[in-house]
Chains A and B, each alone.
Chain A
Amino acid sequence: MLSTLQPPRSLSHLCNKPTTLFLRHTSLKPLSSLSSQPVTDSTLTGQSQSQILSTRDSLLSRQITAAQLAESFLTRLRRTEPHLRSFLHVSDTVLAQARELDEKIQRNEEVGPLAGVLVAVKDNICTAEMPSTAGSRVLEDYTPPYDATAVRKIKELGGIVVGKTNLDEFGMGGTTEGSAFQVTANPWDMTRVPGGSSGGSAAAVSARQSMVSLGSDTGGSVRQPASFCGVVGLKPTYGRVSRFGLMAYASSLDVIGCFGTSVADAGILLHAISGHDRLDATSSKREVPDLASQFVSISLLESKPLKGLKVGLIHETLDDGVDIGVTSAIRTAALHLEELGCSVTEVSLPSFSLGLPAYYVIASSESSSNLSRYDGLRYGNQVASDELNSQYMDSRAKGFGSEVKRRILTGTYALSAGYYDAYYKRAQQVRTIIRKSFKAALDEHDILISPAAPSAAYRIGEKKNDPLAMYAGDIMTVNVNLAGLPALVLPCGFVEGGSAGLPVGLQMIGAAFDEEKLLRVGHIFEQTLQNCRFVPPLIADEDAPF
């Protein structure tokens, strides 16, 4: 398939997609004619423009009010939510907050850089005004007494939290089918999974139910659903964003990540939530560079804007077991990068395949400990019993789903006396090897690229009863968590499937704390990727999005 591809002739590159779909997308009605609603432009048709920046422009230039904007999103949310089920809880104060903001703007008061930006938040991230269940029965109806640091920062900068999104229970899973409450559908094909565990957050952004969203990524939980839903997913370096208020799954791997419809939005959102937090001892004290102001407009780009950039295509990620369509899309993306001036070479990471088992040992071990607090005694669901041990057992047996139980059991086993050395300790040794091999590869290359997942979105129920097959789907992403590195996933093409094709995500991996470079490369990549609008069919035909 690769051989049939013509080398791109111009700076802009056609993305890898079936012709019929291509035609269908170019015929998407240009909404720029709706001059009274400039925001919609970028929302549905723009060149992956920043919704955050255009929101700010439109609000400050009084072209639209925050209330109108919020209403348009809420309308779309109400229309699409019955099909998608991305939200576990939708805030009832969105409009009130937007109106309050409008009053501020009316009074010419200073508003924050996220003013009016509608943010969806994964339900394992604590919000004081909304329930936070982590998709688990054990926390059904639980509302925390505080906002997670990331949420607090978003609110302080003027962002409005739209609601709490669905996820695999406690982030354990790759389909969002593991939620105790509902299954979320993929906006591109509602018979398919949105990926997971941040499937709700990915679907919400993909279907423009919110402008951006927060997810969490322990082994790929932001990047894989971003790929499945055709949105940008950004997993920051471990320590870049405070974990305070993120319900811990595997503490040494967990990071809060961002979803957006453009690289710029993901970057701006990351900038908003980054930085040291005295409430998280593992958050980094490194200064956060200005991630928000480097998104150069396409018109200002030189012909080879990424000249001299060394890109390593991870050899092991194009092995057997990766869908041919995915491999093809990634190779095309590599050609696109070359066209932009990069030198792309294949790089081998021999330890790559060790990542999966090491990840499952470490993540399960830590989760078996982190989930001990859910005993039904102080909060959450409790099964009454007249004896402490049976109360623990009943509360946890009824409160946790099967995947969570599987990982708790696996982790408990791995940490048990006599097994610790063979499992947990060994996995940590593997982790060190992986970290070193990534470090070496990134000393040689500016960024590494790979698919974000071995396949595009698969069907609901397809892997539900085959945990090993589901675990194998994490092969592309877990190494990055083990190494603690930042990675950006952005849609780069399509494979056949559904009514409009299924998006495929390209993963770019950077050196620790060098999100800046990923964002710069990603932004240029998406700006120069032509004729590839990642707007799912569910909303692509919207005539009047407001």
Chain B
Amino acid sequence: MASTIFRSFQTHPLLFHPTTLLRRKNVFLYCTLGSAQTQTATQEKVKPQVKVSHLTQNKTLENASKDYEAVIGIETHVQLSTLTKAFCSCPYNYGSQPNTSICPICMGLPGALPILNFKVIESAVKVGLALNCKLALNSKFDRKQYFYADLPKGYQISQFDVPIATGGYIDLDIPVEFGGGHRKFGITRVHMEEDAGKLIHSDDGSYAQESKSNFGFVDLNRAGVPLLEIVSEPDMRNGIEAAEYAAEIQRVVRYLGVSNGNMQEGSLRCDVNVSVRPIGQLQFGTKVEIKNLNSFSAVSRAIDYEISRQVLLHSQGQDKEIVQETRLWEEGAQKTVTMRKKEGLSDYRYFPEPDLPGVFLTQDYVHGIHKSLPELPEMKRRRYEKMGLSMQDILFLANDINVAEFFDTTITKGADAKLAANWIMSDIAAYMKNEELTINEVKLSPQELAELIASIKNGTISGKIGKQILFELLAKGGTVKGLIEEKDLVQIVDPVEIEKMVEKVLSENPKQLDQYRGGKTKLQGFFAGQIMKLSKGKANPGLLNKILLEKLNAKS
């Protein structure tokens, strides 16, 4: 049946309907979905190499970890948000119906040829420059060959020995709560390649593996979507550093606008390599690769788990149990489990892609792109630092390019940087969190935030009124001036007017006045509250208190 559907696609691409790609007898389709669970169960059984209970493990570890050092390198795949795929004109939208965004080229039909989308080069150059890499003016594409059901051509178009960018670094600041400090991690290379399709998993979400028949469907929407693979130097030493490295890559690609960097959707995928060696040893330990890391915290936790696992094996003299393998991070169980052992090096039989001409960049082109680069996260952080903001503020503001831009616009409108940062980090951030909105979705504009800050500073409104107005602006928009006028919120600064109000309140509360004058001076607050209420919150608090005190004490 699948085959029939497929044939109809060949002549009428638009009629082709989802979900069936791998042609397969129905019998298999059913077995397939069933056998996925067995698969996971088998993995569970194979896995236990650590034979110690968690309690003992922790104690042993604390002692052992001092003697060992972890070496971590990360391969990050960044899916580029180009309008069309890397080598054909199919669009890609995450989550669209399976096999609705495919054509003869990305399906690998006979006779179809790749045509390079030049936006891919542009993005690669941007990322290469942002990561301080050296760009190869003459690079090329190569074919990486292997057979798998999600790889329609039987090879992936990638870059092998001449990647477009090499030898860079990335700067980042570790958050204060994790010890703080500045770090610089090396970037080995950045290269362009195309994504593979997706095997559609069984309902329990377990991974399909080649040695089992637990796959039946392939969705080729993702096949041919452009990726950048960014390979780090093995410069990281713990889970936090690795997670922060990945987060910085995410910030960089988002700042550059080349990817949405979304980990849940798989637009940013991290495979980490972890090895452990006794401190002082130059040679690296056996490297284990970890996959299936869908968040930065998963990156951090998976690495720390894996380090502990390896340290434990080392400390127990079982370091031979550490083998070159790919392990999966299991979020539920919070541990890594063996996915597949590597039997020797896989031979991808790379050779230059004959269907595509070489990639030639001119110095002018590179300069042009360099000039057009936006301010990158590291530059922003250093600028904010010079403004005197705290590292906590800096990291918060620079973390999200939209927040950073909001902040930058607010201060260019004349607002005080620290005040603006405070407003954004406290009330605005809280509002965004409660309402689950991004900064671009709230109705408040940077212009109005600047106006609000100015109005408080110059005394037009009180801080308290300011807060009220803020929430009004966040939810409904409008201008500070308009709201002040509309609601008659201008602060009362006329002493005569305030004096009248003070007198009114004092005369209306003779009992309390007597008590105050009898020594219960705490009642000042009560009076102040009543007066403020009478002024509908508009009385200048300083003036109010000054006059109130005068009146309270005058007649005693």
Mutual binders A and B: yes
- Any A CB within 8 A of the CB of B379: no
The stretch from A221-229, A369-377, A465-473 touching chain B is A369-377
- Contact check, B351 vs A139: say whether CB atoms are below 8 A apart: no
Chain B residues with CB below 8 A from A392, complex form:
147
Give the docked Cα–Cα distance between A417 and B348 (Å): 8
- Any A CB within 8 A of the CB of B13: yes
Which residue in B9, B111, B154 is a CB contact (below 8 Å) of A372? Answer: B154
Which residue in A134, A146, A282 is a CB contact (below 8 Å) of B104? Answer: A146
Query: How would residues 267 to 294 of chain A score, 1 for a CB under 8 Å from any chain B CB and 0 otherwise?
Result: 0000000000011111000000000000
A:104-132 near B, CB below 8 Å: 125-126, 128, 132
Give the docked Cα–Cα distance between A380 and B21 (Å): 13
- Chain A binding surface, main DSSP class: loop
- Contact check, A372 vs B21: say whether CB atoms are below 8 A apart: no
Chain A residues with CB below 8 A from B212, complex form:
387
Q: How far is the CB of A126 from chain B (nearest CB, A)?
A: 4
Chain A residues with CB below 8 A from B202, complex form:
none
Q: How far is the CB of A391 from chain B (nearest CB, A)?
A: 9
Chain A residues with CB below 8 A from B25, complex form:
384
Chain B residues with CB below 8 A from A247, complex form:
110-111
Which residue in A243, A280, A377, A386 is a CB contact (below 8 Å) of B149? Answer: A377
- Contact check, A388 vs B215: say whether CB atoms are below 8 A apart: yes
- Any B CB within 8 A of the CB of A188: no
Give the docked Cα–Cα distance between A247 and B355 (Å): 12
Chain A residues with CB below 8 A from B529, complex form:
none
CB-CB under 8 A for A145 and B104, given A248-B111, A372-B153: yes
- Contact check, B354 vs A252: say whether CB atoms are below 8 A apart: yes
Chain B residues with CB below 8 A from A366, complex form:
351, 354
User: Which B-chain residue is minimally distant from A125 (CB atoms)?
Assistant: B111
Give the docked Cα–Cα distance between A143 and B9 (Å): 11
- Contact check, A379 vs B31: say whether CB atoms are below 8 A apart: no
Which residue in B31, B116, B143 is a CB contact (below 8 Å) of A281? Answer: B116
- Any A CB within 8 A of the CB of B47: no
- Any B CB within 8 A of the CB of A399: no
- Any B CB within 8 A of the CB of A38: no
- Contact check, B155 vs A415: say whether CB atoms are below 8 A apart: no
- Any B CB within 8 A of the CB of A504: no
Size of the chain A interface, CB-CB below 8 angstroms: 52
- Contact check, A369 vs B111: say whether CB atoms are below 8 A apart: no
Chain B residues with CB below 8 A from A371, complex form:
154
Give the docked Cα–Cα distance between A373 and B211 (Å): 20
- Contact check, B149 vs A282: say whether CB atoms are below 8 A apart: no
- Any B CB within 8 A of the CB of A181: no
User: Which A-chain residue is minimally distant from B87 (CB atoms)?
Assistant: A281
Give the docked Cα–Cα distance between A415 and B218 (Å): 29
- Contact check, A388 vs B149: say whether CB atoms are below 8 A apart: yes
- Contact check, B112 vs A378: say whether CB atoms are below 8 A apart: no
Give the docked Cα–Cα distance between A251 and B215 (Å): 32
Which residue in B10, B24, B114, B355 is a CB contact (below 8 Å) of A379? Answer: B10
- Contact check, B21 vs A378: say whether CB atoms are below 8 A apart: yes
Chain A residues with CB below 8 A from B91, complex form:
none
B:339-372 near A, CB below 8 Å: 345, 347, 349-351, 354-357
Give the docked Cα–Cα distance between A68 and B152 (Å): 46
- Any A CB within 8 A of the CB of B107: yes
- Any A CB within 8 A of the CB of B279: no
- Any B CB within 8 A of the CB of A365: yes
Chain A residues with CB below 8 A from B351, complex form:
365-366, 369, 415, 420, 424
- Any A CB within 8 A of the CB of B526: no
Q: How far is the CB of A150 from chain B (nearest CB, A)?
A: 11
Chain B residues with CB below 8 A from A372, complex form:
145, 147, 153-155
Give the docked Cα–Cα distance between A379 and B104 (Å): 11
Which residue in A144, A377, A388 is a CB contact (below 8 Å) of B110? Answer: A144
- Contact check, A386 vs B357: say whether CB atoms are below 8 A apart: no
State the B residues within 8 Å of A (CB): 3, 6, 9-11, 13, 21-25, 28, 31, 104, 107-116, 143, 145, 147-149, 152-155, 210-213, 215, 218, 345, 347, 349-351, 354-357
| 3 nearest CB pairs, A to B | A372-B154, A251-B354, A252-B354
